[in-house]
Structure 1
Amino acid sequence: PATGVSIGVDRLLAALREKGSMGGVATGPVVVTVMDRDRMADYQAMVAELRNAGIRAEMYLGNPKNFGNQLKYADKRNSPVAVIEGGDEKDRGVVQVKDLILGAKIAESATHEEWKERPSQFEIGRGDLVAKVREIIASQSDGQAD
């Protein structure tokens, strides 16, 4: 009653990448981390704000108890940026924006002093979220062209 044929899109994409016919790894979405389940609406609002500005974004949906797992998830998704807003940041009207690409590059080769001089995490006003994320993503694509 229902038959069909598929070559398997995943296999096709893998073969194209292997042959060099397709670009490298695609940049994943910005990941908005979850620090407090009672504030899911706040986090979803950040995701909506980023998406409305044309930036791919998603909210972490796993267990928020282990923050390290949230950053590992962002790494697996090849996310360029993670957005962090705990209760303290919310009270002060700020968010933490972490440049995951720069952070990984610094961690590979930098000394502790170099790492301190080139921070990969920034505290910004909540209203500056979209502008800062755009700035970081632009600097990452400029750096990849080198």
Structure 2
Amino acid sequence: MMKLFGKKEQSKTEKIDEASKSLNKGLSGLMMKAFVGKDDLDKINNSIEGAKMAALAEEGAFGEVAYATVTALQDTGKLVNFDPIVILQLNVIQAGREPYAHQMETLVSKLQIPRVGDVISLGSNPADPTQFIYLGLKQ
């Protein structure tokens, strides 16, 4: 979609990539490294990576590999584009395995924050196949 003066609409992943570049490269990246500190910068970059995975999942880039029932939910107080990052306690059901407990920190849409008892879809993280990516409420 074209906007006024020919600037195209960016997808969420493009916006997240742009934010990551401005955070880690150039003058602003140098300033961040100087003033924030390595540990906090690593936390910020991990949050950005989580947001990118969530955006890719929202766009349908990952297939479902398991589903889970939410047994507990905790707000971290962190936001990405006004969407909260939460800690989910889950009872995971995966083909070929007994149900098991799992905890994950993930970005969720403020319009579809899961509640205790809700069933969610999980995808496999391409960066680490032993970890899951939150795909949203199970349809």
**Same fold, judged at TM 0.5 (above):** no
Q: Which has the higher helix share?
A: 1
TM range (shorter): under 0.3
Q: Which has the higher strand share?
A: 2
TM-score (norm 1): 0.24
